[in-house]
Structure 1
Amino acid sequence: MNITKLNPENVIVCESQFANTGYSKPLNYFHLALTRQISGELEFFVAMDDNNYLGHTRIIWNSKYKNFSDHGVPEISDLNVVPKYRNQGIGSALIKVCEMEAKNKGKNSIGIGVGLYPDYNNAQRLYSKLGYLLDGNGVHYNYNPVMYGETPKFDDNLNLFFIKRIAIQGDAPELANIATPSSQQSIPMAR
Structure 2
Amino acid sequence: MTEADVELVYRVFTEHHIGKPRDYILRCWEQNETGEQITLLGFYQRQFVGSLHLLTTSHYPHFVENGIPEINDFNVIPPFRKLGIGNALMEAVEAIAFEKYSIVGIGVGLYQSYGSAQRLYSKRGYVPDGRGLMYQQQPVIPGSMVCADDDLNLYFTKVKS
Alignment of 1:117-136 (within 5 A): 117-136=111-130
Select which of 6, 29, 33 maps to 1:34.
29
CA RMSD of aligned residues (A): 1.1
* Runs of at least 5 residues in structure 2 that lack an aligned partner in the other structure: none
> 1:111, 1:161 within 8 Å by CA — same for their partners in 2?
yes
SS at match of 1:28: helix
Q: Does structure 1 retain, via aligned residues, the 8 Å contact 2:39–2:53?
A: yes
What is the CA–CA distance in structure 2 between the aligned matches of 1:157 and 1:139, rounded to whole Å? 10
C-alpha change, 1:50 and 1:7, in structure 2 (3 Å) is: farther
Which residue type is aligned with residue 158 of structure 2?
K
Q: Could you tell me which amino acid in structure 1 is paired with residue 42 of structure 2?
A: A
- Name the one with the larger helix percent: 2
Q: Greater CA radius of gyration, 1 or 2? A: 1
1:155 equivalent in structure 2: 149
Highest relative contact order (Cα 8 Å, sep 6+), 1 or 2?
A: 1
TM-score (norm 2): 0.95
Amino acid at match of 1:24: G
1:28 offset after TM fit, Å?
A: 2.6
Supply the distance in 2 between the matched residues of 1:90 and 1:166 (Cα, whole angstroms).
22
Count of residues in correspondence between the two structures: 161
Matches within 5 A, 1:177-188: none
- 1:47 Cα deviation after fit: 0.5
Counterpart in 1 of 2:7? 12
2:83 pairs with one of 67, 84, 88: 88
CA separation in 1, counterparts of 2:107 and 2:30?
A: 23
The normalised TM-score by structure 1 is 0.81
Q: Identify which range, 50-59 or 39-48, moves more after superposition.
A: 50-59
Q: Distance in 2 between matches of 1:36 and 1:159?
A: 24
Residue 113 of structure 1: aligned partner: 107
Decide which of 94, 97, 100 is 1:99's aligned counterpart: 94
1:10–1:18: structure 2 CA closer, same or farther, 3 Å change rule? same
Asked if 2 retains the 8 angstrom alpha-carbon contact of 1:55 and 1:82, the reply is yes
Identical pairs, percent: 36
Mapped contact 1:45–1:58 kept (Cα < 8 A): yes
